[in-house]
Each structure stands twice: as C-alpha cells, then as structure tokens.
Copies of this chain bind each other. A is one copy, B any other.
Amino acid sequence: MSSENPALASETGTGSGPKAVTVRVGILGCGNVGAPLVELIGQRNDAIEAATGIRFEVAAVAVRNTSKPREPAIDESLLTTVANSVVTDPSIDVVVEVIGGIEPARSLIAEALKGGKPVVTANKELLANVGVELYEIADANGVDLLFEAAAAGAIPIVRPLRESLLGEDIQRLMGIVNGTTNYILTRMTEDGASYAEALAEAQQRGYAERDPTADVEGYDAGAKAAIMASIAFGTTVVAGDVYHEGIANITQEDIAFAKHFGYTIKLLAIAERFADDEGFEVGVTVYPAMVDETHPLASVRGSFNAVFVEGAAAGDLMFYGRGAGGYPTASAVLGDLIDASANKTRGSFRPVPAGPRARIRPVDALGSAFYFNVEVDDTPGVLAAVSGAFGRHGVSIRSMEQQVVSEGDELGRARIAFITHEAVERDVQATLAELQDLDAVFRIHSVLRVIES
C-alpha cells in the first residue's frame, strides 16, 4: 500500500522502482548497540524501503577511537571523533544516541533537537534523570525524541504506553526489567544455586558486570521504572524518586518458603497511581517480591523481561521479551528510527506525553501484602504474643504456618511464616519493630512483599 502514498515518494529515487526518500542517519557511539544497529540498517534497508518508502544512509558514526578494529567493518570515512560535528551537520536528518551516560549525551541530544533533527536514544540513565528537559526541547522544536530501547530493551512498551494506551486509565505497572537479577533468581529457583554462585555464573556469562551494584541493588530497574511511570501517568518521575531494595539478601531458604506457599521470587519495578483531590500521587518502587505462581510475571524466566500493565478498561496486559543485549536493543532503536524518519518525512512528530513533576507517595504510605519468616521460642503463648503485635498495628494475617526447624536452628526454637493481607507499609514496619522487641522472638529472618494473582 505504502508505495501508493504520495507523501512518501520523493526526490531521491533508487533505480526504476517507486522512488524512495533517503534519510541520512548520524549515530553517536558504535559499541554494544551502535555496531549491531549499523549492521541491521544494512541488512534491512531493502525491506524497510519496500514497507515505508524510506531508505537509510548511515552518514556519520561518532566514536572515541577511529582506528579500533570493528566487526563488521565500517567505512572509515564515516567515522569521526567529533560528535558535535554529527549533530550540527545540516546534511544529517536524524540522530541516534547510543553512547550512554549523562554527558556528553545530554548536550548532543539537545543540540540535535534544537537544530530540528529527530533523536532516537537508548539512554535510560539520561532520561531517568534529565529526560524532562529534553522532552521539552523536542516538543518546542516540533521534532520526535523516541526512546523505546531505554525502557525495556526490545520489548515494545514505550510506544504502546505513548499511543495505544494514551486513553487508558492505567492503575499499576509492574515490571521485571532487569535481566541480570532475573537470571540470578531463576538459577536460584530452578537449580538451587546460592545467590553468590548465581551471581558468579551471571558474571562469567557476561550477564552481570564485575561491579554488579547497578543491577542487583535495583538502580537499573529504578531508572526504567521512572521512565515508564512518567509516560504511563503523564507526569515526571526521576530516578531519585524511586525506592529500591536489591536481591543480595535473598537466600535459598526464602526461595524454598516461596515455593512452598505457591510463589516465586522476582525483582519487581512497580509504578502505581493514586487519585486524590488535587490530582494524583505516584508510588515507584523496586524490590524483590513473592509473586503468585499463576501470575503471568511468575513465568518470566532467565534473562527475559516483562512489563505487566493494569488498566481500568483494557484489563491486564503484559509485554514480554529481551530487555537487554546488542541486537534486541538495536532492533528497538531501528523501530524508532523508522518512525522518527517517517514522521519527519510527513512533517509531523509526536509529543512526549510526560507532564509536570509527580507528587511522590513515600514508600511507608504504600500498601502491599507481606511475608515474614520469624524465629521464635517454641513455648506456649508465643503465637498469641506474636499475632497480637500484628493486630495492634492493624495488620491482618491471611495465613500462618509453623515450619520444620531447619538444621542451623537451635533446639527449642520454631519458625513461623506469616502472609498478611494488604497493609500499609508503615504499619508493617511498626509490627516488625514490636516483634523484634518481644522476648519470645529470636530473629526475623525475612520480610518480602507479596503479589497475588
């Protein structure tokens, strides 16, 4: 059909077929994502032209070192170390930023947008911290700033949120958006590995960095949650707004208890919207949670990612796929590149549906069901004392089970596992504080939030 669209047939035809528009692309960065992107553009150019009437020409690639060997090779005349020359070159139509980090990416993107060039970026750190200033520049200049790859890699989630679900009342969004931690938790769950073993294996396979902090402490997931919350709720959430707990304290015992109760442990990034008289508050959190085995997120295994969206009219939706990796990320960038170029060819663009700074609901005012594992003296009256503490703070117990004492425990002690109904975090913390003070309570082994189906 598209070959009949007059808006897409123009000056720079190739050969005897319908004429194509040539779009000259400047790419900032040629590493893990940039190199596969250059390769994909070469492989897919004919198909893209057939589908859209657009043909890409990689016009310049900004790199740190032009003499570094590259596989596949890139024409040396395209390489430059002067990134600024790419964003200011009037012959370049669209800019792709895959350098990462805040600067110089921030200044380069701003410069390109101000010059009327649409920009595609995969940079979650940048957008989760200063995205709003770039969204404003893009909108003021009437050009696209597209960033599908910055939220969940190859998974189309930003575009569905920006377009398909723009009219939907989205109430909550829960994502498994970090492949490293999901890989570690899957190995611990399916193969009985310890956290340390699973982390070491993830490092060996290249899934985890030598310093795994950004992944295992939830910073990476938090940045992605901030970006998705901003788009889903039409507001601005930054990385610093996100409460996060990591997975480093998860033990095989937690995994075993979770299985026993019909759950699986996942690191979740959760964004919630709470309407109030002045508009709405947003809660954005990252933590390991026990997810009901029948919940669609529970079946997301290994390094795969997924984002679960709860809408008032649409109901539950889930988007699943590769959240990282060179080719999957480059694929998402390519999709944006086609979209930005087609929009530019039509003289159109799509404003970013973020909005003013969000009012953040602090974590202690958020609600969740909880799982506790408490080690107590195995004497009469203990259960009454322990459950009394829950009652005094308005935390309602849904199920309670005394566990077989594990080998490391001393004689005369028992383990009790509690699962609560949904309760406010501060009431749960007060309950825990009171439990700690009880003579009969030896230790609180784990506290995990619980997500029901």
Contact = CB atoms under 8 A, between A and B. Distances in A.
Contact of A313 (B48, B142, B328): B328
A214 interface: no
A2 interface: yes
Contact of A164 (B335, B352, B354): B335
A168 B337 CA distance: 12
B5 A139 contact: yes
Contacts of A142: 5-7
Contacts of A169: 43-44, 47
A355 B2 CA distance: 8
Given A142-B5, A299-B299, A332 B164 contact: yes
A53 to B, nearest CB: 8
Interface residues of A, number: 79
A44 B2 contact: no
B155 A317 contact: yes
Interface stretch (A243-251, A318-326, A389-397): A318-326
A315 interface: yes
A411 interface: no
A330 B330 CA distance: 33
Given A313-B331, A314-B331, A318-B321, A338 B159 contact: no
B355 A327 contact: no
Nearest to A308: B320
A370 to B, nearest CB: 25
A234 B167 contact: no
A166 B338 contact: yes
A371 interface: no
A136 B2 CA distance: 9
A311 interface: yes
Contacts of A51: 166, 234, 353, 355
Interface stretch (A78-86, A255-263, A341-349, A413-421): A341-349
A173 to B, nearest CB: 13
B351 A8 contact: yes
Contacts of A8: 351
A48 B168 CA distance: 9
Contact of A156 (B164, B339, B348): B164
Contacts of A165: 156, 331, 335
Nearest to A36: B313
A299 to B, nearest CB: 4
A353 B2 contact: yes
Contacts of A347: 347-348
Contacts of A335: 163-168
Interface of A: 1-2, 4-8, 36, 40, 43-44, 47-48, 50-52, 135-136, 138-140, 142, 148, 154-156, 159-160, 163-169, 234, 294, 296, 298-301, 304, 306, 311, 313-322, 325, 327-328, 330-332, 334-339, 342-343, 346-355
Given A168-B335, A317-B321, 11 more contacts: A6-B142, A44-B169, A155-B317, A163-B163, A164-B339, A166-B338, A168-B331, A296-B300, A306-B318, A313-B328, A314-B322
10 contacts: A1-B351, A40-B313, A47-B169, A164-B335, A164-B339, A167-B334, A167-B337, A313-B331, A317-B319, A318-B321
